[in-house]
Amino acid sequence: MALHKSEYQGLLGWVDARMPTLMAEYKKHLSEYYAPKNFNIWYVFGGLAITALAIQIVTGIFLVMHYKPDARFAFESVEYIMRDVPGGWFIRYMHSTGASALFICVYLHMFRALLYGSYRKPRELIWLFGCLIFLCLMAEAFFGYLLPWGQMSYWGAQVIVNLFGAIPLIGPDLAIWIRGDYVIGDATLNRFFSFHVIAIPLLLLGLVVAHIIALHDVGSNNPDGVEIKDTLGADGKPLDGIAFHPYYTVHDIFWLSVFLIVFFAIVFFAPEMGGYFLEYNNFIPADPLQGPTHIAPVWYFTPYYSILRATTDVFMYALAAFTMAYAVLLVFTFRATPARVASFAIGLALVLFMIVPGLKLDPKVWGVVLMGASVLIFFGLPWLDCAPVKSMRFRPAAHLALLLAFVIVFLVLGAFGTMPPEDSRNVMCQVLTLLYLGFFLLMPWWSRIGTFKPVPARITFRPH
């Protein structure tokens, strides 16, 4: 079979003749991937998240060389890494700080999508892959957190696994199946280690590749929400686009060095970050007989932990009223009779299981449902957002205000989730939980309201 005729010379030509895919992909994804010229700082966090993921994988490889996934030795082996392995403390602090850094980047990356409508058509699939990545990250962080086998590792895992025990009928057996034991034990540690080191990272990498391929097929969104592919030059390339390499590579390298300054400032000078990145209780070896007085997950889970804790007996009435009101709203919105009947019936059924004696489920079950729903609801964004334009730049000021209000709700829930529970705070968490859900569930209505500015045909770009 004849060789592919290469345009390159020397070694590259030799390789290209035998494996043309290599240079074709290099062009497709880097040197001839046209990204909009008007990216702002919000567009650096995707790349930074990949960097943080790379840090996690590389440091993880070295940690596994010395860590022992055994309930008797796990805690000691982590301290062995910190003390006796040359440079071990550095690798371990990079890994513990990297987990938080990754979540910070991902949360900011998601905020960017909300700000500029990056999940809107034709980018729904990118968004769905992104949400799956977010779910995998949560699982990865949860499994990894058990491994140091400290008090918070142990009791955090205990609380979360027990949540599965709240599921009606199958719950208790399911919880045992997950733990592999009646309590969190060596079997649990070993399987969490396996998930953390092999299963989830594989999934995560596959999803990241899918996320990027889907992105490069349709092209990047930008702060104006203008499709640059609609305006092509004579050469068939977008007039408002610019080659990713070298222009965005140098741009991202600069922001990467800024990120590394912050990252290593934490690694070297404040690795515990005041107890937020490394919890103090986790310096006490796991004690299955005595739990810590205050169990709180690491900061990136606390908004959802707050929602879980907010779901109390009394709250079920508020939740039932909220559900019924939403069902009635749907009944008045839909035109087709089957849709009307279905929304009313589903609403009524949910309410029955919330408050009617004899039928109602444990509020804890609903807490789990609400916590899950508040994560999964992100998947629905492309269809919940019905605004005629993508970017906040051309949407009414009220929309930006609502988005910022949602961010504040999220942050306050997060802050409350780190604190010990207290009555007045819990009431606030309940209100905030309804606001959190309301932001998404009412989006089909509020996203249409207001005066939208006309979207220009071309992006706004100010030369540097």
Partner 1 sequence: MMKTKLLAVALLALAAVFAGGARAEAAITMDIFPEARLHEPPALQNGARLFANYCLNCHSANLMRWNRLRDIGLDDRQISDFLIFGNQKVGDTMSIALRPGDAKAWLGKTPPDLSVIARARTSTEYRGTDYLYTLLRGFYRDLGTPTGWNNSAYPTIAMPHVFWQRQGPREATFTRIVHHENEKTHTAQVVREVTVIDADGNAKVTESSVFGDPPESVEVSFKPADPKRAAQFDSDVADLVAFLTFMSEPTAAGRVRMGVWVLLFLTLLAGFTWWLNRAYWKDVK
Q: Which stretch binds partner 1 (CB under 8 A): 117-125, 167-175, 353-361, 385-393?
A: 167-175
What is the number of alpha carbons within 13 Å of residue 312 lying toward its C-beta? 14
Site for partner 1 contains 280 (CB under 8 A): yes
For residue 242, report the phi and psi dihedrals to the nearest 5 degrees. Answer: -145, 145
- In terms of CB distance, is 282 or 323 closer to partner 1? 282
The reply on whether position 173 binds partner 1 by CB under 8 A is yes
- Distance (Å, rounded) from C-alpha 262 to C-alpha 260? 5
Q: Of 33, 37, 208, 343, which one interacts with partner 1 (CB under 8 A)?
A: 37
Of the candidates 23, 92, 35, the one whose C-alpha atom is nearest the C-alpha of residue 58 is 92
Of 14 and 268, nearer to partner 1 (C-beta) is 268
Query: What is the H or E stretch that residue 36 is in?
Result: strand 34-36
Closer CB to partner 1, 79 or 124, in the complex = 79
Q: Find the binding residues for partner 1 in span 180-199 (CB under 8 A).
A: 182-183
- Tell me: does residue 175 bind partner 1 (CB under 8 A): yes
Specify the 3-state DSSP secondary structure of 457: coil
Binding test (CB under 8 A) with partner 1, winner from 265, 339, 405, 408: 265
| Number of chain positions touching partner 1 (CB under 8 A) | 57
Measured distance CA(104)–CA(300) in Å, rounded = 8
Question: Could you give the CA distance from residue 95 to residue 85 in angstroms, rounded to a whole number?
Answer: 15
CB nearer to partner 1: give 7 or 423: 423
- In the block, tokens 């899918």 appear at 210
**Binder among 72, 121, 294, 458 for partner 1 (CB under 8 A):** 294
Q: Which of 269, 337, 357, 424 binds partner 1 (CB under 8 A)?
A: 269
Among 6, 125, 162, 201, which residue sits at the site for partner 1 (rule: CB under 8 A)? 162
Distance (Å, whole) CA 219 – CA 227: 8
- Comparison of 77 and 100: residue with beta carbon closer to partner 1: 77
- Whole-number Å distance between alpha carbons of 152 and 280: 9
- Name the one range near partner 1 by CB under 8 A: 284-292, 328-336, 339-347, 430-438: 284-292
* DSSP line for 393-430: GGS-HHHHHHHHHHHHHHHHHHHHHHSPP-HHHHHHHH
Q: Which stretch binds partner 1 (CB under 8 A): 292-300, 386-394, 406-414, 434-442?
A: 292-300
C-beta of 42 vs 90, nearer to partner 1: 90
CA-CA distances (angstroms) from residue 126 to 241, 443, 456?
20, 20, 24
Report the phi/psi class of residue 275: left, alpha or beta, with left for phi > 0 and alpha for psi in -120 to 50.
left
Q: Is 159 in the site for partner 1 (CB under 8 A)?
A: yes
Interface with partner 1 includes 272 (CB under 8 A)?
A: yes
Please tell me whether residue 295 binds partner 1 under the rule CB under 8 A.
Answer: yes
Minimum separation from the CB atom of position 26 to partner 1 (A): 19
Q: Which residues, numbered 305-364, are part of the site for partner 1 (CB under 8 A)?
A: 364
Task: Tell me if 424 contacts partner 1 by CB under 8 A.
Answer: no
Q: How far is the CB of 298 from partner 1 (least distance, A)?
A: 14
Which of 1, 234, 261, 336 forms a contact with partner 1 (CB under 8 A)? Answer: 261
Long-range contacts of 456-460 (CB under 8 A, 24+ apart): 456/224, 456/226, 457/226, 457/230, 457/231, 458/226, 458/231, 458/239, 458/240, 459/36, 459/37, 459/38, 459/222, 459/224, 459/226, 459/228, 459/240, 460/38, 460/224
DSSP 78-112: HHHHHHTSTTHHHHHHHHHHHHHHHHHHHHHHHHH
Residue 264 found at the interface with partner 1 (CB under 8 A): yes
Residues numbered 74 to 103 that lie near partner 1 (CB under 8 A) are 76, 79-80, 82-84, 89-90, 93
Cβ contacts of 43 within 8 Å, gap of 6 or more: 112, 220, 222
Token reading at 86: 């040359």
Contacts with partner 1 by CB under 8 A lie at 37, 76, 79-80, 82-84, 89-90, 93, 155, 158-159, 162, 165-166, 172-173, 175-176, 182-183, 242, 246-247, 250-251, 253-254, 256-258, 260-261, 264-265, 267-269, 271-272, 275, 280-281, 283-285, 291, 293-295, 364, 420-422, 463-464
